[in-house]
């Protein structure tokens, strides 16, 4: 019997093929120039690896009975568009639950999202996933946007079960024992997708005597990022603004390091704060828990270099969206 599990496994193979489809990649880039060829291919490869048989088995576990049921609940999904395929996990969860899926892709990520949904429909003709412009008559909602947009969602969808997400970012805790290789891996967590994702590291917690130059030496491989027009414009603007305000900062001609408590700085800036005692960091992380998606570092939930490649069981905001979709059908 053909199963949704098998459909997702086959989708993983298709996503790997899409990575090599130059026409598709160029079409996606033309829609949103923040999505470079490199980052589009990264996203497709990451998802193709995530949807391996081994990962799907580990994730779904004893929920294989999902393939035996279909429900009539209508789940609406409003996707963000800050990085390629950022809404795919929600779509997969709703599909697996056996419910109907009504999708509103972001205008910044419409081409690739629709192409992936089309591919899933070709694999499983019974898949009930439709792209719509308006969310009318939904039985449940999953919506992701800015913190301001989330307040709108909260009001608009107040009468149905809902899973709503606002803006978050990620941070990293370094020590003097952090190795050069780990700092190099951290550069991927920072610069991939231009730091625009909720799992992008935008703030560093550094020991009081940590040498900033160690960071610049380890991140040099990302110097090409400033060749991107939009990123360069942001970098130049933020640099000019800081200079105008006579602020102290460090730079290396493609990014700015600024000592500031803000966890989510503008594109082109990574903020940092100093600490004397690691125990104080845990308190800060707890205080800012609603603003942080993940923490990169030893003893925390994400290893260096892994923040941009979450597993299927790494749920956004720590909320299990698969269980959310499944429980609607009880």
Q: Taking the domains of the chain in order of start, what are their residue ranges?
A: 4-167, 169-296
**Same fold flag, 4-167 and 169-296:** no
Name the residue among 192, 184, 235, 232 with its Cα closest to residue 36: 192
Name the residue among 294, 293, 242, 296 with its Cα closest to residue 266: 242
pLDDT tens string, the chain, 330 residues long: the values are: 568 999 999 999 999 999 999 999 999 999 999 999 999 999 999 999 999 999 999 998 766 566 666 778 999 999 999 999 999 999 999 999 999 999 999 999 999 999 999 999 999 999 999 999 999 999 999 999 888 888 889 999 999 999 999 999 999 999 999 999 999 999 999 999 999 999 999 999 999 999 999 999 999 999 999 999 999 999 999 999 999 999 999 999 999 999 999 999 999 999 999 999 988 999 999 999 999 999 999 999 999 999 999 999 999 999 999 999 988 855
pLDDT at position 251, please? 95
Which residue carries 């193979």 as its tokens?
Answer: 13
Collapsing DSSP to helix, strand or coil, 85 comes out as coil
pLDDT at position 178, please? 97
- What CATH number has the domain spanning 169-296? 3.40.309.10
- What CATH number has the domain spanning 4-167? 3.40.605.10
23 membership: H or E segment, kind and range: helix 22-31
In angstroms, the CA 164 to CA 153 distance is 7
pLDDT at position 26, please? 98
pTM: 0.95
Task: State the maximum Cα–Cα separation within the chain, in Å, rounded to a whole number.
Answer: 67
105-160 tens-digit pLDDT: 999 999 999 999 999 999 999 999 999 999 999 999 999 988 888 888 999 999 99
Half-sphere exposure of 306 (CA within 13 A, CB side): 14
């Amino acid at each position: 019997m053909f199963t949704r599990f098998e459909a997702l496994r086959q989708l993983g193979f298709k996503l790997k093929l899409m990575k090599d489809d130059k026409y598709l990649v160029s079409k996606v880039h033309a829609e949103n120039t923040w999505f470079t060829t490199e980052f589009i291919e990264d996203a497709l490869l990451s998802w193709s690896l995530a949807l391996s048989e081994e990962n799907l088995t580990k994730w779904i576990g004893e929920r294989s009975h999902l393939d035996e049921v279909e429900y009539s609940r209508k789940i609406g999904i409003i996707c963000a568009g800050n990085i390629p395929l950022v809404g795919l996990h929600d779509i997969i969860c709703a599909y697996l639950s056996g419910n109907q899926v009504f999708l509103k892709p972001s205008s910044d990520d419409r081409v690739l999202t629709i192409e992936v949904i089309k591919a899933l429909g070709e694999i499983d003709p019974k898949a009930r996933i439709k792209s719509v412009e308006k969310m009318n008559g939904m039985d449940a909602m999953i919506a992701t946007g800015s913190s301001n947009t989330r307040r709108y969602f909260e009001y608009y969808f107040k009468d149905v079960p809902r899973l709503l997400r606002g803006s978050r970012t990620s941070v990293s805790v370094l020590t003097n024992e952090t190795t050069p290789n780990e700092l190099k891996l951290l550069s991927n967590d920072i610069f991939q997708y231009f730091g625009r994702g909720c799992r992008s590291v935008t703030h560093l917690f550094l020991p009081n005597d940590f040498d900033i130059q160690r960071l610049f030496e380890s991140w040099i491989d990302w110097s090409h990022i400033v060749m991107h027009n939009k990123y360069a414009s942001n970098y130049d603007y933020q640099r000019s603004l800081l200079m105008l305000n006579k602020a102290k900062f460090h730079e290396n001609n493609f990014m700015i390091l600024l000592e500031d408590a803000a966890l989510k700085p503008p594109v082109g800036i990574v903020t940092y704060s100093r600490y004397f005692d690691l125990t104080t960091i845990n308190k800060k992380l707890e205080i800012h828990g609603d603003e942080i998606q993940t923490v990169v570092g030893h003893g925390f939930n994400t290893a260096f270099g892994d923040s941009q490649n979450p597993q299927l069981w790494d749920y956004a905001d720590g909320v299990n969206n698969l269980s959310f979709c499944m429980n609607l059908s009880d």
